[in-house]
Amino acid sequence: MDIFTEFNLNKIKDRQIDTLIGLSKGIVADGKVEQAEAEFLQTWLVQSRSASDNPIIVNLLDRVSVMLEDGVLDNEESSELLSVLRKISGDESYIGEVAKASRLPIIEPMPPITFQGRSFLFTGVCALGTREQCQEATEARGGVIAKNVTKSLDYLVIGTYVTDSWVHENFGRKIEKAMTYRDSGVPVVIITEQHWAQSVCM
């Protein structure tokens, strides 16, 4: 690649990010992401992906494509996409820091994780990839992916990026339900994505 080609590609990437920030600000302005907005974003990402290999574009396209693969953007996916776009747009007043025990119902220190035969449920916005990728990594180690919070759930994994007002978010209902079970004596363990990731890498 010559210097002029590299310069032009960098200019394309810069324009893409500027445009993406603008799109993100417009989509999150009303505090929600509609199906049509997600589909429009996906179309733009596909077109942008063909022009460069910008990792931000590639990663976001992967996430949006997974959300829309069944043709429906459900409430939890909409909430997750809203959080991601707020982060991209720089709206820091809505983006939480890394999950902390002071904000979330997590016991410190978090216990060791056993994967084989244990059930896992992911909620919130994951930082290490799409939720599906995290689930695949869990299954590869013998874990089972649960569909809902039940009394038989072993681990509820909370994604890295959570809003300060998580109790009001769609994924907050899963956390509250897990807390209720745990408080009643059911041994469901609530952990952070970081703790899960450390165990995956061991």
- The answer to whether residues 8 and 67 belong to one domain is yes
pLDDT at residue 171, rounded to an integer? 55
- The answer to whether residues 123 and 63 belong to one domain is no
pTM here is 0.51
- Structural domain includes residue 147: yes
Q: What is the mean pLDDT of the chain?
A: 79
In angstroms, rounded to a whole number, what is the distance separating the alpha carbons of residues 130 and 74?
Answer: 16
- Structural domain includes residue 16: yes
Q: Domain tally for the chain?
A: 2
pLDDT tens, position by position, 106-155? 777 889 999 999 999 998 777 777 788 889 999 999 999 999 999 999 99
Name the residue range of residue 47's domain.
Answer: 3-89
Residue 126, token pair as written in the block: 């994951």
Domain boundary pick from 41, 68, 89: 89
- Rounded average pLDDT per 10-residue block, the chain, 202 residues: 38 68 85 92 88 78 91 91 83 42 67 95 78 90 94 90 49 81 92 87 70
Write the burial class of residue 97 (CB in 10 Å: 0-12 exposed, 13-18 middle, 19+ buried).
Answer: exposed
Q: Tell me, what CATH number does 186's domain have?
A: 3.40.50.10190
Write the burial class of residue 14 (CB in 10 Å: 0-12 exposed, 13-18 middle, 19+ buried).
Answer: exposed
- The answer to whether residues 174 and 135 belong to one domain is yes
- Structural domain includes residue 106: no
pLDDT at residue 95, rounded to an integer? 37
In angstroms, rounded to a whole number, what is the distance separating the alpha carbons of residues 177 and 174?
Answer: 5
- Structural domain includes residue 193: yes
